[in-house]
Amino acid sequence: MHQEVHTHNIVERAYAPEVADLLGRFDRRALPDFAGASFEALSSELLSFCARDLMIMAPTGTGDYRYEHFGQDIIRFVGCDRTGGHVTQMRPAVARFTIACYDEALSSGKPLYSIHRAVKTVRVSLWERLVLPTTCADGQRRLIVFSKPLQFHEELLTTVLDTSPAGIVALRALRDEDGNIDRTVIITANRRAAAMAGLAGDALVDREGRQALPFLADETIWRRCLYVMELRRNDMFEASYTVDGRDLWLQVALAPLGDGLVMTLSDITELKLANLTLQSRAATLALEIGKERATRRALSHELGQREEREQELRRLAETDPLTTLLNRRSMIEKANAEIRAAAALGHETSLFIIDIDHFKRVNDTHGHPAGDAVIRAFADLLLGQMRAGHDLVGRLGGEEFAVLLPRTGAREARRFAERLHKCLRRSHLPVSETLDLQVTASIGVATRRADEDFGALVARADKQLYRAKDEGRDCIRCAEDEIAAAA
């Protein structure tokens, strides 16, 4: 069972933003001589704003602790109310760890931060706790414990992990007293990842990363993992290693996740072998084509594989890698083709230019990974509101998007824009398992004039977008409304 205990650099290690606030409040209520904080003062203050995430624990004098308060959010995740119960009623491994943490906090009189894996809850895998020792006015001791889920295993996530053809591993960084990454521990891994490491089932979980995953023994690969965790940047590379006497090739994708990373492992051994085979056969096929039917079949098969790879490359070249929407170049090409087709049939065409308001604040407040998550969620919302197989949706760059509506006039385009605007106002975009954000957007709308190409249409819609921004953001401005007002 994964367990961590920290008494230093707690704010830097914690995930919940409340931890820093709680430590500040504890310091203001601190008592001398290892007594912690005043129970009456601190409990009254904390129960007024975060009671749902708090437990109050009383030592029994027999090496156990009794629950005097058990927060509603903790009940929701654990599945029961433990008020009046005792720590020793938990599973032995969790109870021993919990009592040891509580004893240390009371004896030192200082806050203690811990992370542990739950043995059995409704849906929580990892918990973080901030243990605050206190002393009552009558001299009795109490612990105020802030407890919050750190990682969720929803049914969808479990299904994805279990059925994914790729190996998926999540590692948490373990740091020394100076804050440097000393090693990692595997907190989640699917069966496919275990098989790639030559193990069975869930044998990877709770093991040290470099010992459990053969390719991490390579110092160069390990340094790349450190860069991902420290610099918060994605990475992708190929790695080879040997398991049970068999040489394997992996494509490894790394992405930062909390104070650690998530690793996606794709077995490309057969593709490597196929490429080597393709290279070795090329000269022979040039000489022997037409001589042997079996050789022609092999060539046809390999040419088919190459065509599939080329199709995938074309798809990647047309789409934005963050959102999978059309990228700017592909959006321009496809939009001009749609405009020509619509013009030939005498149909109208309209365009939205959409910009997320104050997007820089998201990056500055929550970090660039949160900004990327907002961009992806906003793209999903756009796709959900537009007509599948009919409208073109693309990302022009940064937080700016474009939607082309073929066979759509100004009035209908205005209705589409208002529907999208209302949907966004009602929505909270998911950033992580514990955070979602509400954002607004400014929308510029224009309907194509005769003989107008896509570039000119974009310019008019863009003008309306800047008009929306100048007039307070979170609104829609239409070129046709401006023309009507002028008339």
Task: Tell me how far apart the alpha carbons of residues 226 and 232 are, in angstroms, rounded to a whole number.
Answer: 10
Q: Are 43 and 146 in contact (CB under 8 A)?
A: no
Strand 400-406's sheet: what is its strand order?
392-397, 400-406, 349-356, 441-447, 476-478
Virtual CA dihedral for 336, 338, 344, 350, nearest 10 degrees?
A: -90
Reply yes or no on domain 328-486 having CATH 3.90.1720.10: no
Confidence (pTM): 0.41
Domain residue extents for the chain: 3-151, 155-267, 271-318, 328-486
Are domains 3-151 and 328-486 of this chain identical in fold?
Answer: no
Question: At CB < 8 A and 24+ separation, what contacts does 388-395 make?
Answer: 392/326, 392/331, 392/334, 392/335, 392/338, 393/325, 393/326, 394/320, 394/325, 394/326, 394/327, 394/328, 394/330, 394/331, 394/335, 395/320, 395/322, 395/323, 395/325, 395/326, 395/327, 395/328, 395/331
Task: Provide, rounded to the nearest whole percent, the portion of the chain with pLDDT above 90.
Answer: 56
**Residue range 67-76: mean pLDDT, rounded:** 93
CATH topology of domain 155-267: Beta-Lactamase (3.30.450)
Which of 277 and 103 is assigned the larger pLDDT?
103
Task: Provide, rounded to the nearest whole percent, the portion of the chain with pLDDT above 70.
Answer: 93
- Has residue 321 got a pLDDT over 50? yes
Task: Tell me how far apart the alpha carbons of residues 255 and 261 are, in angstroms, rounded to a whole number.
Answer: 6
Predicted confidence at residue 470, as pLDDT, reads 94
Q: What is the pLDDT of residues 185-229, one digit of tens each?
A: 988 888 888 888 888 767 888 889 999 888 888 899 999 999 999
Q: What is the pLDDT of residues 223-253, one digit of tens each?
A: 999 999 999 999 999 988 887 778 888 899 9
Per-residue 3-state assignment (H helix, E strand, C coil) for 270-302: HHHHHHHHHHHHHHHHHHHCCCCHHHHHHHHHH
Q: How confident is the model at residue 79 (pLDDT cuts 50, 70, 90)?
A: confident
Predicted confidence at residue 45, as pLDDT, reads 93
**Residue range 417-439: mean pLDDT, rounded:** 91
Predicted confidence at residue 482, as pLDDT, reads 67
- Superfamily of 3-151 according to CATH: PAS domain (3.30.450.20)
Predicted confidence at residue 25, as pLDDT, reads 95
Q: What is the pLDDT of residues 327-367, one digit of tens each?
A: 999 999 999 999 999 888 989 999 999 999 999 999 999 99
- Has residue 122 got a pLDDT over 50? no
- Mean pLDDT is highest, among 63-67, 283-287, 427-431, for 63-67
Task: Tell me how far apart the alpha carbons of residues 445 and 402 are, in angstroms, rounded to a whole number.
Answer: 10
**Residue range 458-469: mean pLDDT, rounded:** 95
Predicted confidence at residue 121, as pLDDT, reads 44
Predicted confidence at residue 198, as pLDDT, reads 83
| Residue 407 identity | R
DSSP 88: G
Of 207, 208, 203, residue with least CA distance to 182: 208
- Has residue 10 got a pLDDT over 80? yes
**Residue range 118-129: mean pLDDT, rounded:** 65
Mean of the per-residue pLDDT values for the chain? 88
Predicted confidence at residue 152, as pLDDT, reads 47
Q: Within 13 Å of residue 61, how many CA atoms lie on the same side as its CB? A: 1
Which of 306 and 59 is assigned the larger pLDDT?
59
Q: What is the pLDDT of residues 109-121, one digit of tens each?
A: 999 999 887 755 4
Give me the helices (H) in 289-426, please: 293-318, 328-345, 359-366, 368-385, 410-426
21-35, 112-126, 253-267, 445-459: segment of lowest average pLDDT? 112-126
Predicted confidence at residue 200, as pLDDT, reads 76
